[in-house]
Amino acid sequence: MRLKENIRTFDFTPSSIEIEVKKLTFIKELPNLLGSPHKVSFYQLMWVTEGSAELKIDFRKIRVGVNELLLISPGQVCEFDITSDYSGKMILFTDSFFTVTEVDADFLYSSQILSLSNLNQVVSVCPLLADNLIALLEEELKTSADKFQATIAQSLLRVILFEAERNLSSAYPPSSNKYNLAQSFHNAVEKHFRENKRLEYYTSLLAVSERVLSKEVKLLTGETPKVYLDKRVVLEAKRLLAYSKLSAKEIGFLLGFEEPGNYNNFFRKHTGLTPANFRVSIK
């Protein structure tokens, strides 16, 4: 049996180049879609130039003010602000568009701006730099596509992301082995948390002892690897309970729990509520 999550998910509009720049006004033009919980299969880089917007991402409220950037990752459940007064730009791009080189791929999977400790961190960026780069990117995308367009667009996007990365303080620099180990754990959890919830699986996958992994993940996140892993499972359960029509039993099955009782006990242990009570509480 194949279950569907039923959370509205948008894919990138097919095009010759998988990057697009939009004015933030497009959000209010689609209030029923973007003002409601939804997911997308691509990255969204939000740049506010006037006012401020308050988003809800995975049950967290995040405010983005003037001259601030926010990067939203694929798969996150988001509700955009459709009431406040704000303006700016949104850059939409896929991972396949950005990861042309090994350096690019390494950035997406090891950068601080996308790390498990800084996910959805609002970053202040020089307005002159950001405005000019985004304007150049917009102009490039308006021209007729040729063999140079993708490379030029990628270069402009790189500078924007690298500038945001430089301005984001973190416990470890990107080259730190400690940082890379913790981020590798985060990436492994994202890929395998549904079918593997035992910490031993991840220590074996990363070829590291539980003691070493616990030390580095706790230094970066303040949590043990097991706590982080359990919280990731709970977050996905909450997403499905809040935004899908699947039954609690179906959600438990989708998350790798073979017995409904095990899923119910797991969820109640970490939230204090049964799945059914949680679903009622957020309506």
Residue 274's closest CA among 245, 257, 249, 244? Answer: 249
Q: Averaged over 3-17, what is the pLDDT?
A: 69
Contact 46, 72 (CB under 8 A): yes
Question: What percentage of residues in the chain have a pLDDT greater than 90?
Answer: 51
Given this model, what pLDDT does residue 46 score?
96
Alpha helices in the chain (DSSP H): 25-29, 31-34, 95-98, 102-110, 127-142, 149-167, 177-192, 199-206, 210-221, 225-243, 248-254, 260-271, 275-281
CA distance 185 to 88: 35
Lowest mean pLDDT among 16-30, 145-159, 168-182: 168-182
Per-residue pLDDT, averaged over 49-62, amounts to 93
pLDDT value of position 223? 84
Instruction: Say if pTM beats, i.e. exceeds, 0.75.
Output: no
**pLDDT of 2 above 50:** no
* C-alpha distances out from residue 214 to 34, 91, 119, 231, Å: 38, 36, 20, 15
Residues in the chain: 283
> Which of residues 204 and 16 earns the better pLDDT score?
204
Please say whether the beta carbons of 236 and 197 come within 8 A. no
Q: Which amino acid is at 178?
A: K
Is residue 218 within 8 A of residue 226, CB to CB? The reply is no
Instruction: List, for residues 129-174, the tens digit of each pLDDT value.
Output: 999 999 999 999 998 888 899 889 999 998 999 888 888 754 345 4
182 CB-contact burial (10 Å; exposed 0-12 / middle 13-18 / buried 19+) = buried
Average pLDDT for 175-182: 62
Q: What is the pLDDT of residue 172?
A: 45
